[in-house]
Amino acid sequence: MPLLDKEFLQAIGITLDEQSYLALADHFKTTLFQRVITEIVDELTPEQAAELAALEGDDEHLNQWLVDNVTDLQEIVQDEVDILLGEISEEREKISN
Amino acid sequence: MSEKLPSTYVDHPSRNDRILDHKAILDTPTPLDELQDREPDDEESINAASEFDSDVTDMLVGNNPNHRDEDPKALRDAFLAISKNITERPDDQRKSPAINDPMGLDVATYGSLVVANVENPGDFQIKMQEKFAALHQETPASEEDKKIFSSQVADLAHILYGKRYEEYEQQREDLQLNPLESNPFDKQNREVDKEILAASKDVVARVDNTARKVANGWQTSIRAIQNAAARPAQAIHRITKFVSDRRLAGKQRKLQKKQSRVRSDPSLRGIDKLINNHRQTRADSYKVKIDKYKNETADPRNTRYQSHVNKMEGRTRAGMEKNLARDEAFQERRQSAEARKILRKELKSGKIGYFESKKIITSLPAEKLQRIGRARCLELAAETAVSNARAEMHGHQRDENKLTEQATKLSANSQEAMKWSREIESAANKKKDEDLPLVTEALEQAGKEYQVLVDEDRPLWDPELLAAKSRFDELANEKAFLNSAILGMRQSQEQQKQRAIRLRAKAIQTQGKIAEERRLRIEAQAKLDQQAARYTTRDEALERVIDRSIT
């Protein structure tokens, strides 16, 4: 199920056909993910960045490492969603067109 | 940028006085000129040099008290370097400076005026660059010359603006530097980190779940907003109904009072019946009138239409109110998020721990968060504008470089074609002047020999006659071939010449395009500087807001 559903978009004044809706939902998800990652990486100290880089290929410990080192992950995601949805709402006329 | 100084500068009396002063200074043989032939320790020379320093300082700095403390020797050196470069005067003509500004000013004077009137060192440099570009419009300066000039102007700006220039340069550097680029290993690690995080399914799922919860929260918010938007209409309806009910009740009370007064009056016994009769008569006549009016004027379709219009208007108004409320709520939410984001970073950079940061952020009143968020949004917008302006400037720079390359190629090809044309012409002339006379002479000789044999009545099969004829024909063919070759070479030469002319014309046309691109680039640079200055202002404003809010 996509993060953005059609009803939600209609509620914020965006009406799209199926294809455009899917494209927007996909773009939303990708952008959000990129921003969250950038934000996480920007917040790391150089030592943490090096530590994480060393975890390449060790998917098992990655999640635990994130929990231990990025304590504000929840807030980061929440803020990025708020910002992105705010931007979508601001640009809704362009998106609808 | 092609724009001139504002006309108010031209008409300003004190400025005109300064222009005259500057010209007078430039027209007067400088003590430096006289000093060149003297011993350095000559007392008169030292005095003259000192006076000259003072003149140059006056000229460049004018009456601006902010610039009075500058080093006169450094000013003099920078001024002389720029003046020599920009006015393109040979040293021996320094006493009569070239007047090559459309306003009738030489560049040094122009520069001094710009310094006196321009607050921003960046603007000063741009104006000097424009001047330089205008002077080299016909014969573009080489890249090396441009670099030298830019460096000289930067030196002059540094001397004249002092600390302000350093701050300006620092800002420019700050804007151009990506903090991640400071350490290549760190940058590399961060790129690797991004890839690792993006490739991990667990991380994707975690972000996705959290985002989904937040998005659900948004749905709830939207419903709340919609309800909130509907509430005012209900409240207004209730108030209006209450007021109208109260009025109606008041009127009924008044009427009942009147009726009871009338009923209690003994002189008006039986009046109720009279009143009722009268009322009935009036009601009947009124009903007749109304029915007639309805039949005549009431149009059911119009009524329906009007009702529909009213409904739509109401709906649109309600929709607009709802949208407005929703947009405001969205923006508030976004601003709060931006505020939290920047605060988290600021607090983290101040070595404040997670829990303490969270406590500080959550303890901030919504109003303060909004204020920080608004400042951050403005800063982000300015940052985007800087980035766009930079991209625009680089675009013009790329176009300019491309066009310059094209013009160079066209010019080289034109010269090559012209060279070919000359070489072909030379070869054709050689054939015409050297080879053709030899063949012609030989042909004439062969003709004569053949004629002698013909005159001797030699039989047609005579071997000598046949040989003479064969030689004559051969030489005639050779002459015809030579003439044809010369003609071909002339045509080829003409073609090469025309090609050279066409290429040259194209090169000139491209030069025009280059000048236009250069103008656009300078404009874009000015825009970039403006946007950079705006960004700095907004960045500072954000810092102030954060400082005030946290403390």
Q: Which residue has the higher pLDDT, A88 or A2?
A: A88
* pLDDT value of position B252: 85
Interface test with A, best of B178, B181, B183, B190 (most A CBs within 10 A): B190
Asked if residue B201 has pLDDT above 50, the reply is yes
Least confident of A55-69, B479-493, B519-533: A55-69
Q: What is the pLDDT of residues B539-550, one digit of tens each?
A: 888 888 888 887
Inspect the interface and report whether the beta carbons of B201 and A33 lie closer than 8 Å: no
Inspect the interface and report whether the beta carbons of B193 and A78 lie closer than 8 Å: no
Percent of chain B with pLDDT over 90: 29
Mean pLDDT computed over B223-228: 63
Average pLDDT, chain B: 75
- Which chain A residues contact residue B354 at CB under 8 A? 71-72
Nearest CA to CA, how far is A81 from chain B (Å)? 6
Inspect the interface and report whether the beta carbons of A72 and B323 lie closer than 8 Å: no
* pLDDT value of position B398: 93
CA distances from B192 to A60, A69, B67, B478 (A): 17, 17, 51, 79
- Using pLDDT thresholds of 50, 70 and 90, give the confidence band for residue B387: very high
The DSSP result for B311-375, as a single string, is: HHHHHHHHHHHHHHHHHHHHHHHHHHHHHHHHHHHHHHHTT--HHHHHHHHHHS-HHHHHHHHHH
- Which chain A residues contact residue B341 at CB under 8 A? 39, 76, 79-80, 83
* pLDDT value of position B136: 73
* pLDDT value of position B31: 42
Q: Which residue has the higher pLDDT, B140 or B469?
A: B469
Asked if residue A28 has pLDDT above 70, the reply is yes
Asked if residue B477 has pLDDT above 90, the reply is yes
Asked if residue B297 has pLDDT above 70, the reply is no
Q: What is the pLDDT of residues B401-428, one digit of tens each?
A: 999 999 999 999 999 999 999 999 999 9
Interface test with A, best of B181, B203, B220, B361 (most A CBs within 10 A): B203
Q: Which of residues 176-205 of B touch A (CB under 8 A)?
A: 183, 185-186, 188-190, 192-204
* pLDDT value of position B301: 63
Asked if residue B141 has pLDDT above 80, the reply is no
Least confident of B50-59, B96-105, B185-194, B332-341: B96-105
Spatial CA neighbour of B62 closest among B1, B12, B126:
B12
The DSSP result for B479-502, as a single string, is: HHHHHHHHHHHHHHHHHHHHHHHH
> What does the domain layout of chain B look like in residue ranges?
7-177, 185-264, 389-550
**A13: nearest CB among B323, B333, B335:** B323
* pLDDT value of position B441: 94
Asked if residue B315 has pLDDT above 80, the reply is no
Inspect the interface and report whether the beta carbons of B214 and A86 lie closer than 8 Å: no
Shortest CA distance from B330: residue in chain A:
A86
Mean pLDDT computed over B284-304: 72
ipTM of the complex: 0.87
* pLDDT value of position B393: 92
Percent of chain B with pLDDT over 70: 67
Inspect the interface and report whether the beta carbons of B201 and A59 lie closer than 8 Å: yes
The single-letter code of the amino acid at A72 is D
Asked if residue B68 has pLDDT above 60, the reply is no
Mean pLDDT computed over B265-293: 79
What is the 3-state secondary structure of B430-475?
HHHHHHHHHHHHHHHHHHHHHHHHHHCCCCCCCHHHHHHHHHHHHH
The DSSP result for B30-66, as a single string, is: PHHHHHTTS-TT-HHHHHHHHHHHHHHHHHHHTT-GG
* pLDDT value of position B65: 45
Interface test with A, best of B192, B206, B207 (most A CBs within 10 A): B207
- Which chain B residues contact residue A44 at CB under 8 A? 190, 193
HSE toward the beta carbon, residue A33, CA cutoff 13 A: 23
Greatest mean pLDDT among A73-77, A91-95, B140-144, B270-274: A73-77
Mean pLDDT computed over B183-200: 77
- Using pLDDT thresholds of 50, 70 and 90, give the confidence band for residue B105: very low
* pLDDT value of position B77: 63
Interface test with A, best of B188, B209, B210, B376 (most A CBs within 10 A): B210
Return all residues near B486 (Cβ < 8 A) that are at least 6 apart: B428, B431, B432, B436
Q: Which residue has the higher pLDDT, B212 or B219?
A: B212
- Using pLDDT thresholds of 50, 70 and 90, give the confidence band for residue B376: very high
Inspect the interface and report whether the beta carbons of A32 and B207 lie closer than 8 Å: yes
Pick one of 1.10.357, 2.60.40, 3.40.1000, 1.10.287 as the CATH number of B389-550: 1.10.287
Mean pLDDT computed over B230-241: 59
Q: Which residue has the higher pLDDT, B533 or B204?
A: B533
Asked if residue B258 has pLDDT above 60, the reply is yes
